[in-house]
A and B are shown apart, each in its own frame.
Chain A
Amino acid sequence: MILKDLASLEGLKLLNEDIDLNKEIESVYIGDLLSWVMAHAGKGSAWITVQTHMNIIAVAVLLEMSCIILPENIKAEENTLARASEEGIAVFTTPLDAYKIACEFKERL
């Protein structure tokens, strides 16, 4: 599936601009400990995390992730979003929790 296909996820909102929504999502990874994520998340993954500071963008870029999804209506800081746009990383938020987001993916991936 591609980022565009996420549109049907409940209450999903893209938080930043200038994003290519045709990027492929290959898998999902859930985690908040950055060096753990760094060691285990795959390329092209949609990353579900509660972290919102700028360093998540560095992690996403280095691992070539497809996007970041913030669960439970978490909002990212402005400088995080600005950096995300510069690097072409989509940052979404949704009212769903990480478990429910993962369940939604199970149907689609």
Chain B
Amino acid sequence: MTSMPHLRDHLPFDHPLSPRDGFPHLPFLARMLVHYRADDLWQEDTRHLPASMAALRRKARVFAERYLIPASADIDLAPHPAIGQCHPKAHEILVEAGRQGWLSYFLPPPLGAMDWGRVSHAPVMQCCLVVEEFTRACGGLMLLLSAHHLGVMPLLLSGSPGVLLKFVRPIYQRCQRGDPHLVAFAITEPGAGSDAEDGHGAARYRPGVVATPVPGGYRLKGRKCFISGGDLAQSITVFAALQGEGMESWTCFYVDAGSPGFSVVRTEQKMGMRASGAAELEFNDVFVPDDRIIGGLRHGWALNRATLNASRMPVASMGVGFARAATEAAIDFARSCTLGGKPLLEYQDVQLHLATMVAETRAIRAMVWQEARHAWRPRQLRASACKFHATDRAQKVCEMAMDLMGDRASLHENRVEKIFRDVRLTRIFEGTNQINRLSLIEDWQGELLSGPSGPFVTGV
């Protein structure tokens, strides 16, 4: 008889045949090689990170658990808000997130809130850690907070100290004061979703949002759609073609949402991620002064693609966060729901199911971390591979969680159905997963075509 808690069809740790019983009794050197401390997986993974990154991960989790989880269900269930309205709880979260630096952590002080101890780590990796924690708590609130970084990204990547000082600093400072200034990123047009993400399509697309030169700047005309956070943003990085030119003339304009001629014409009722608005924006001869051209005329396409390369790994992390949340919910269910007098966790098929979910989740996290850690200059191939693979697999894990929970999975209060609705988006935005697959190949074609032929030569 054992006093240790154990599952019926597995040996307790103090059984003579349990390796956990055997390892501590091996000779010292052998113990050094094989005897491990089994800890909570999240804690263990966090400990293995560099100290400053571990601190970031812990801090993000604390914030997510304290602020996002309690508000998540209510905001998801709330009626669709009128244009420009923000759920009061979401507003509180934005304010608090701003104060704590979650809206300004891509730069260190005095511009932003990134801890100086982390400047030697790729910002994309930092973002991945944060996004996973926020996503696990609430997909919609995560997107509300993350779309802002996407909006700011072209400003950061412009490489212009002037842009950082003139535009990014005030945004970040307001956020840190608790008066959030949100920025949205606008590339998608009614006629161009994939064509705004994929060069082959863009080359054939006649631009919908056009910038006409006028004294002192440009006037923007046209519509952007599905813009995350576009309903609440005070400013937007808008990509537009120059009058009479094609997509190669795309230029990034930093548009003030208070400008005459700008309006939010519609917000979408979405399947999930409901805490974040997706807006259709109209530009009716919106004047944008020359000094709000970001990255230079006709550099917009490159800036767009660079932004996507930076943001697709964090999107992959959304997948990790959802898979993790679904797995955690399934574990909790398997422990608490009983059938025939024993918890579901006691059933072998349930154990197989959970083991697969945990492994899937950890596999996609390993992939994202592996790529993001070195993503100082994120490569398209790597970013796209992470994005489509992690999000595809994450949906699978969510489906597994639903299967395990059966009809209870469909109740809102059990969280998994929301996670499923939320995760579904990650396979569509930031380029559909089909476009991301093509994007991987686009970036790889050099090696594929010009490298030596024959097996065993192309690095994978």
Partners in one complex: no
